Structure 1
């Protein structure tokens, strides 16, 4: 019983840490959006989506 609880706490902390890193990445991205062209912003968001293993919902800017 104790091992199962410890295992659950371990994975919960891993997911919490992952969420914290994702939030930090998004905050940095939002702060860096000032004074950048639309193309640079699009490219940086694509990099974030790629790092997260996702694809953007809106499609490509050039299409």
Structure 2
């Protein structure tokens, strides 16, 4: 029972980290976006990988 609880907590932490991390990075990147900013990149295993080309195309349109 303790093992299942720890497994549940660990899995919940990993999933929330994979969701909250990209959203935090997106918010930070959009706040700092200018012509010279770097491309938007997420970690390899993050969710929302489809945001990368969208943010980069938004940056190109702002030029």
| Larger Rg, first or second structure (1 or 2) | 1
TM-score normalised to the size of structure 1?
Answer: 0.50
TM-score normalised to the size of structure 2?
Answer: 0.50
Where relative contact order (Cα < 8 A, 6+ residues apart) is larger, the structure is 2
